[in-house]
Structure 1
């Protein structure tokens, strides 16, 4: 900080690079994994060679397009939009009821993109149902986001209800919506909570509470909170291992943390065992549920020698490859910044320019002073 309480130019540049890196890295991992999301490892290797997938390939949807992103990136971007609006209106970094409402409205706008084929002027200002009173415009006007890319049932059903998190309610019990759901649909959208300048504890709390709008099982929302806390530590300059260890200490304060803690601990132990492989990845599960997706993303980021190798490790397995790739990309980008990402892949990711602009807008809204 300088004498006016503002960060130095170098600190601002590093922060902006990490915000861009987190969002673009998540999109790259998502785009890598999306075409093979439902493929077994044996089929991936039979199709792409003994090393498995080695780069971006054509998705089965989207008229043969390369670099398409899934609901993981879509929901992450709407999370960013809600958080940026909350900070612009003075409701951050620790979100209260008003901030949670803005994020909830952002998710409602994402839900509209899953119900329509594209934006319509007559409907942008007032989505169906007539009760929406949030900010207009923004991402909901982007035609490329009106693609239904296998969204999770818990996200669709949860957002059809109007739950706004209560910042005073205890986190421990199962949430009121989808109380038995711990799918990865909350963790894969939650990295932005760690990008806002919030402390790791604040990021954890906000991400976990917003996860409860769709996933009520404690593991479903604790995994979301843990990813946000890890990202917050990475933005502050912590190593990946150090960020995970500190997130584990934070998790341990909350009742019902055991599944998330066990998965992260297993990922740390596995990364220390030796050379990474797809077979080791599959010892952590398939990534369809929250703690497994988080653990696979963490393991890949820790075990592989470089960002490209880590992203490929995160997606080459029998399971939810786009979500595990997205989580790994969030972690790598927040740690190393956007310049460390494989640029040939970044350049081909759907919506790349819009994602970069949204990242810079979030950084600008959250910078002190």
Structure 2
């Protein structure tokens, strides 16, 4: 392997590990406070809320389902859309045998439909919840250099479980933001591309994205700004809250995630979306070593690094290695 190829591999390995561990650490930090109000979080952890990841912290269904999608991509990211969707459907059915880490009724219901033989293009449920968004970020890595396929796969793979336009737009935005992060686009400069790729899909999502951007650059404090954007149970709010945290702290993974989890709402999902995007942007070195060490089952993430990196270069490596 040439020196240039080795540098490429090391660079993208840091970015991939940043995405994987950035997602999982943020998810784990939010896990223990997801069902608490911010006032209850402060009562339990102090005025600033939860700040550090305790030892042996588990992740939730957010990371679990991202890994389900990642496994499907390893089996067929290069395939045409119908064949790839079949792989994703198969992995969702296999996921039903995994431990229940808190998956929503929409994702589980769609997976059960797939298991019963309902085709993937009819299995989706018209739900605005964030189950498809939270797993979509890995698409931004695998298809970084194929934005057309990235958008198509993000939208259609999201529909397998969540067929509502809000969820579709959010899934595209979640995946595309990771691609933009890898491209070196500053969070502030992501706004217009995100508007463009989600244009015409959901006015609700567009309004949420615009509100996130305006609020992040207003003079309101973090707590007030987050309250204004919602609680994150619906996909438009989830992405808006995550984007707000990224805009406020574009170069500080730890502070962005601490901000994301200390809310009244879907702390783990908001944080995992923000954590994946910032992890891809800043790389593994930006994530606190103590958080990585505290993460339960981190070896599962490590085992995905090599195969995903190989798949990435299989799809786009010719452009990097020429």
**Mapped partners of 1:276, 1:27: distance in 2:** 27
> 2:104 aligned with 1:152, yes or no?
yes
Q: Please, what TM-score do these two structures have when normalized by structure 1? A: 0.79
Cα gap change, 1:177/1:165 in structure 2, threshold over 3 Å: closer, same or farther? closer
Aligned partner of 1:256 in structure 2 is 201
Aligned partner of 1:96 in structure 2 is 81
Aligned partner of 2:37 in structure 1 is 40
CA drift at 1:275: 6.5
Q: Please, what TM-score do these two structures have when normalized by structure 2? A: 0.90
Is this contact kept in 2: 1:71–1:150, CA < 8 A?
yes
Q: In structure 2, list runs of 5 or more residues that go unmatched.
A: none
CA drift at 1:336: 0.8
**Mapped partners of 2:18, 2:234: distance in 1:** 25
User: Considering only aligned residues, what root-mean-square deviation do their CA atoms show, in Å?
Assistant: 2.0
- Between 271-280 and 11-20, report the one with greater CA deviation: 271-280
Is this contact kept in 2: 1:194–1:232, CA < 8 A?
yes
Superposition map of 1:96-245 within 5 A: 96-113=81-98, 146=99, 148-162=100-114, 177-179=124-126, 181-198=127-144, 199-245=146-192
> 2:74 aligned with 1:84, yes or no?
yes
**Mapped partners of 2:290, 2:219: distance in 1:** 29
Superposition map of 1:57-68 within 5 A: 57=54, 66-68=56-58
**Mapped partners of 1:291, 1:282: distance in 2:** 14
**Mapped partners of 1:300, 1:331: distance in 2:** 11
Match of 1:361 among 303, 307, 320: 307
Is this contact kept in 2: 1:19–1:360, CA < 8 A?
no
Cα gap change, 1:103/1:226 in structure 2, threshold over 3 Å: closer, same or farther? same
3-state DSSP class of the match of 1:347?
helix
Superposition map of 1:251-290 within 5 A: 251-252=198-199, 255-274=200-219, 276-290=221-235
Aligned length: 309
CA drift at 1:8: 3.7
Is this contact kept in 1: 2:27–2:59, CA < 8 A?
yes
Is this contact kept in 2: 1:218–1:256, CA < 8 A?
yes
Cα gap change, 1:274/1:15 in structure 2, threshold over 3 Å: closer, same or farther? farther
Match of 1:13 among 10, 15, 18: 10
Q: In structure 1, list runs of 5 or more residues that go unmatched.
A: 58-64, 114-145, 167-174
**Mapped partners of 2:288, 2:44: distance in 1:** 23
